[in-house]
Amino acid sequence: MSRKTKVIIIEDDENILNSLKEILRSEGYEVDTATNGEEGIKKCKANPFDLALLDIRLPGMNGTKVLEVLHKEFPDMIKIMITGYPSLENAVASLKRGADAYLMKPVNPLTLLKVIKEKMCDRSNSRFRGKHDEESSRFLFKH
């Protein structure tokens, strides 16, 4: 039996937070939440997650700053930015700072689930390729 994918949602709007949490839980994800960046970072350090959904506009530390911290501390974590204030500058800044995807609110549940599945698949494939390449190179150099 494989373990559940662990997701943290960092979002200050309680209605959006609860909706996202219910969507993901109904699909079998293990979900935790935080309503600000500091709380989200603290939870990630205490209990690493596979994926983070981050709002760009958060109280205190904004989402792009949280993204920078998570990207540095947890480079393998998938990070998806969500915003109700889309702009080209935000999208470019988020991707440069390590976001794996950028979604606009209101988030379509089917789109969200599709993006999460694609990013998790990409991560699994890159890990497999890395392990396979490492094993292949060890084999080639043994002879």
Full pLDDT tens readout for the chain, 143 residues: 467 999 999 999 999 999 999 999 999 999 999 999 999 999 999 999 999 999 999 999 999 999 999 999 999 999 999 998 878 888 888 888 899 999 999 999 999 999 999 999 988 887 655 544 444 433 443 33
pTM of the predicted model, to two decimals?
0.85
Nearest residue to 10 via CA among 48, 31, 36, 44: 36
Q: Which residues, in sequence order, are CB contacts of 27 under 8 Å at separation 6+?
A: 113
Q: Which amino acid is at 96?
A: K
- Tokens 């993901």 locate to 24
Q: Which amino acid is at 72?
A: K
Element (H, E) at 25: helix 14-26
CA atoms of 7 and 80, how far apart (whole Å):
11
